[in-house]
Amino acid sequence: MARKKVKTSPYDSAEYLDSSEAIHSYMAEVLETDDPAFIAKALGTIARARGMSRIAKKAGLSRESLYKALSAEGNPEFGTIIRVMQALGLKFSIIATQAR
């Protein structure tokens, strides 16, 4: 008997970041990982959801350099992260925890 082929499509988190609440929840979960590369990539996902060109312009970067910095292989400077967060309307908040 021939197997029926199943059509799949790539999953893109950006498609589900359609509200401030969704973005806040997503970023809160990402920050819990303490993984700098994952955090940068998540900011790129949020930027794509909000419009990469618009966010790049607000952050004072080219669209291409923003894609590169916030990719899985990127290693953005902290200043870039701050500018992107400001462009996205996000802000860091410090919460005291026990030292590890």
30, amino acid identity: V
Written as six digits, the tokens of 43 are 């900011």
- What are the Cα distances from residue 71, in Å, to 8, 36, 98? 23, 12, 31
Domain extent, residue 55, equals 20-88
* pLDDT tops 90 at residue 51: yes
pTM of the model: 0.83
Number of structural domains (the chain) is 1
* pLDDT tops 70 at residue 100: no
Residue 8 lies in a domain: no
Residue 13 lies in a domain: no
H-type alpha helices, the chain: 20-31, 36-50, 52-59, 63-69, 78-88
Residue 11 lies in a domain: no
Residue 42 lies in a domain: yes
Written as six digits, the tokens of 32 are 């819990």
**pLDDT reported for residue 1:** 67
